[in-house]
Structure 1
Amino acid sequence: MMRTLLLLCVTLCCLSVSVAGDSSTSLPEENGVLLLKKDNFNRALKQNKQLLVHFFAPLSGDSQRLALAFRGAAEQLIGSEVKLGVVDVSKETNLTKELNATTPPPLRLYLSGDRHNPVPCPVFQSSASIVTWLKRRAGPSADIITDLNQSDRFVASEELVVLGLFKDVERGRVEVFYAAAVDLPDLPFSVTRNQDIFRKYDITQDSVLLVRQSTPVQVLKVTSQMTKEDLISFITVHQLELVTEYNGQTASRILSSPVLNHAILFVNKTDERFQTVYSDFQAAAASYRGKVLFVMVDVDEPRNGRMLEYFRVRESEAPMVRLVNLTSHVTYHLPSDTLDTPTIIAFCKTYLDGNAQPKMQSEALPADWDQKPVIQLVGENLERLAFNPDKTAFIMFYLPYSEESRSLFPLWEELALHFLDREEVVIARIDASANDFNLSMRERYPALRLFPALHAERVVAYSGQRNLKDLVQFLEKEMERAKKDRAQEEEDRRKYIETQKAIEAKEAKEAKEEKQEL
């Protein structure tokens, strides 16, 4: 008996040591960032109360840039309660699916070991933004200013700052201000209740000021109905100049703006007409603040080559104005060579009223467009093939200069070969930079769209893993679904025809009876 008890105690001790050792086992890391996989992710959650995870896509340029900022933030956060980790989504496909992380945002903050309810993160511009966001979450999210001197130093500290003037800086309406500050880590936020500062800016009620180079540029009066989203929208709309020049520093702010209608001036800044054209464009911008974002692209800047290619603008055509909606992808061309303020204002009004005619462009149809496993579409035949009720079309919308797009070509060829003997299936691709189309593309390219064999013009976006097995399963599943819907379409069509025939027969009978009565 004693021997049995002794053995049991030894066994329990060994198990305890084993469990303790497992929980304290160090995780692999690189430059202060944990290298997370399916077999160590739960352990990382248990060991870290706050775990900020980057779901890294190796072929994405944006993901590569974010990875640099992420490593910089990890160095600044050494010794803090927050640990940073990375998951390679190209290798850890099962883990990515389990965490439902196949779609944006690429950064997620896991708290207290909860893998099911991560905090989504905003779009970060730098390592400083990441650190600021984390610090503001821990609180306070805005510095409190107590006097005029401190206020003057704050508004002069950066090109653009956000200053909150609230009578109560602890509760009530100011809470919306603090919440917005957390989600906008690229901007400095401060708050005050000092009446001298209220008087300096001629403010009498709770307000938010945007101050550019020590000069107030926008004031928003805060009401009890205002939400965090309302305030964020106000700040992001007005943080950009009336006209924003497109470059590496402004690109992400332009693309993340809540204003989705963009008026783009393509102009050569060395052209003698530049100042006149720019002044007229800027004057028009003032009329559409919050409705249309005005952007200038210098065609003489070599780094803007992709923008010219995307909008199919030749340097010799400048100056010119294009209007584009970021969700519909449809481009509108100002139908005039006169680029003065009244003409630009009238063009924007026509567009916003829904009366502008889109500039639909198409490449020439190649002679062998349908002779290869992957069919090459252009603008003029896209809809004819995509909405053919007897074909299931799976189409890749790509950008030829995108590494991410080109990397998908071999897989698309493989998919086409898989369905080569299925005449009812079409695997195709189209250059989205050279052809216009009336389809909404909310995600970045390459975008994958399935067009089922139906009379109804249904479009199904594919957001799953990009491998042959998942693509085939998706296609087969959607075809089976379309088959049932097609049967219902035919039944509805039959009933409609029978109803119409009955109505016609009844009308003919009534007409005959009326004729007989006469």
Structure 2
Amino acid sequence: MEADQSRLLFLLFLFTWRLSPEVAAEVQESSDGSAASQKPVSLTDVPATMEFIAAAEVAVIGFFQDLEVPAVSLFHSMVQKFQDVSFGISTDSEVLAHYNITGNTISLFRLVDNEKLALESKDIESIDATKLSRFIEINSLHLVTEYNPVTAIGLFNSMIQIHLLLIMNKASPEYEESLHRYREAAKLFQGKVLFILVDSGVQANGKAISFFKLKESQLPALAIYRTLDEAWDTLAIAEVSVEHVQNFCDGFLQGKRLRENHESEEKTPKVEL
């Protein structure tokens, strides 16, 4: 019962943390002017489409039977807004048949958990730029996904139940190299663990950090969390290395706990959320 209450509080915090006007504006705004000339990749056969999906962490494909529908121009505009997503478009009948497409559909494929999500014809008929942006933003999970109000929804909608968080300040001199090593470690646990980055320099992330009872003096740190039963653990680290991350994940997956007092902590409702 206590674990259920804890999970409810945690999920309420994540799902009700609304976008600030500034964040919402960033989602709608193009990353830079150089993207203006970019277009979706034309996918004209099944092998090319399969290769395109396999090569991307996140691939969004517009499967259109009719290129005159309003959603096509909206789809093209998304290319300029999401620089870390691969966009493709296809009208080829064999491609559509291979992916069981029977109407105009926009599908998102993500490598991290081999998931496929789709906006079907009935959704596309009433789609607008805001809805399409939000669909892509929420569901674009990468090998390492940065935690924010929007991606939090997609993270907790994933079928992967174990989430690993690297909590560190992105402004620190060690950040770039640490992120590189963290990404390398993420490849070892693809499909098993979602790797998340939490920027401790963002004030709003303080609630997520306090959930794991971490203090600023303990950062950077790793925190691992299992959505099914509320089990979690933390590890303060002076240096992020593939070995440290791998050992921490392996230990948790094998049932080892670094801090046994989590059991008593989990019985206390986390009212700070």
TM-score normalised per structure 1? 0.31
Structure 1 residues 305 and 323: alpha-carbon distance in aligned structure 2, compared to 1, 3 A threshold: same
Residues 28-177 of structure 1 mapped to structure 2, 5 A cutoff: 62=15, 143-144=64-65, 153=76, 156-159=79-82, 160=85, 163=88, 168=93, 172-175=97-100, 177=101
Counterpart pick for 1:311 among 212, 217, 238: 212
Structure 1 residues 340 and 170: alpha-carbon distance in aligned structure 2, compared to 1, 3 A threshold: closer
Q: Say if 1:323 and 1:333, in contact at 8 Å, map to a contact too.
A: yes
Question: C-alpha offsets along residues 90-115 of structure 1, whole Å, 9 cap, x if unaligned?
Answer: xxxxxxxxxxxxxxxxxxxxxxxxxx
Residues 38-437 of structure 1 mapped to structure 2, 5 A cutoff: 62=15, 143-144=64-65, 153=76, 156-159=79-82, 160=85, 163=88, 168=93, 172-175=97-100, 177=101, 189=106, 231-232=116-117, 239-334=140-235, 337-352=238-253, 354-357=254-257, 359-361=259-261, 379=264, 398-402=269-273
Question: 3-state DSSP class of the match of 1:266?
Answer: strand
Mapped partners of 2:223, 2:152: distance in 1: 17
Question: 3-state DSSP class of the match of 1:281?
Answer: helix
Structure 2 residue runs without a partner (length 5+): 1-11, 20-61, 119-135
Mapped partners of 2:141, 2:77: distance in 1: 19
1:342 is displaced (CA, Å) by 2.4
Q: Say if 1:263 and 1:294, in contact at 8 Å, map to a contact too.
A: yes
Structure 1 residues 324 and 343: alpha-carbon distance in aligned structure 2, compared to 1, 3 A threshold: same
Structure 1 counterpart of 2:271, one-letter code: P
Mapped partners of 1:155, 1:246: distance in 2: 21
Q: Say if 2:182 and 2:245, in contact at 8 Å, map to a contact too.
A: yes
Structure 1 residues 237 and 263: alpha-carbon distance in aligned structure 2, compared to 1, 3 A threshold: farther
Mapped partners of 2:198, 2:266: distance in 1: 31
Question: 3-state DSSP class of the match of 2:116?
Answer: helix
Question: C-alpha offsets along residues 398-427 of structure 1, whole Å, 9 cap, x if unaligned?
Answer: 33135xxxxxxxxxxxxxxxxxxxxxxxxx
Mapped partners of 1:316, 1:337: distance in 2: 11
Residues 485-500 of structure 1 mapped to structure 2, 5 A cutoff: none
Mapped partners of 2:66, 2:138: distance in 1: 25
Mapped partners of 1:231, 1:166: distance in 2: 19
Q: Say if 2:161 and 2:226, in contact at 8 Å, map to a contact too.
A: yes
1:164 is displaced (CA, Å) by 6.4
Q: Say if 1:237 and 1:259, in contact at 8 Å, map to a contact too.
A: no
Question: 3-state DSSP class of the match of 1:316?
Answer: helix
Mapped partners of 1:250, 1:267: distance in 2: 18
Mapped partners of 1:342, 1:309: distance in 2: 26
Mapped partners of 1:311, 1:381: distance in 2: 10
Mapped partners of 1:250, 1:276: distance in 2: 23
1:163 is displaced (CA, Å) by 4.0
Structure 1 counterpart of 2:225, one-letter code: V
Mapped partners of 1:251, 1:360: distance in 2: 27
Structure 1 residues 400 and 179: alpha-carbon distance in aligned structure 2, compared to 1, 3 A threshold: farther
Q: Say if 2:162 and 2:194, in contact at 8 Å, map to a contact too.
A: yes
Structure 2 counterpart of 1:174, one-letter code: Y
1:322 is displaced (CA, Å) by 1.6
Structure 1 residue runs without a partner (length 5+): 1-59, 67-140, 182-188, 191-208, 211-216, 219-228, 363-377, 383-396, 403-518
1:350 is displaced (CA, Å) by 3.4
Question: 3-state DSSP class of the match of 1:307?
Answer: helix
Structure 1 residues 254 and 306: alpha-carbon distance in aligned structure 2, compared to 1, 3 A threshold: same
CA RMSD of the aligned region, Å? 4.4
Mapped partners of 1:299, 1:355: distance in 2: 28
Question: C-alpha offsets along residues 267-310 of structure 1, whole Å, 9 cap, x if unaligned?
Answer: 12222222222221122112222211111111221111111111
Structure 1 residues 179 and 291: alpha-carbon distance in aligned structure 2, compared to 1, 3 A threshold: farther
Structure 1 counterpart of 2:232, one-letter code: T
Question: 3-state DSSP class of the match of 1:322?
Answer: strand
Question: C-alpha offsets along residues 466-514 of structure 1, whole Å, 9 cap, x if unaligned?
Answer: xxxxxxxxxxxxxxxxxxxxxxxxxxxxxxxxxxxxxxxxxxxxxxxxx
Report how many aligned residue pairs link the two structures. Answer: 194
Question: 3-state DSSP class of the match of 1:265?
Answer: strand
Based on CA coordinates, which of the two structures has the bigger radius of gyration? 1
1:162 is displaced (CA, Å) by 5.7
Mapped partners of 2:17, 2:183: distance in 1: 35
Structure 2 counterpart of 1:168, one-letter code: S
Structure 1 residues 316 and 292: alpha-carbon distance in aligned structure 2, compared to 1, 3 A threshold: same
Q: Say if 1:237 and 1:257, in contact at 8 Å, map to a contact too.
A: no
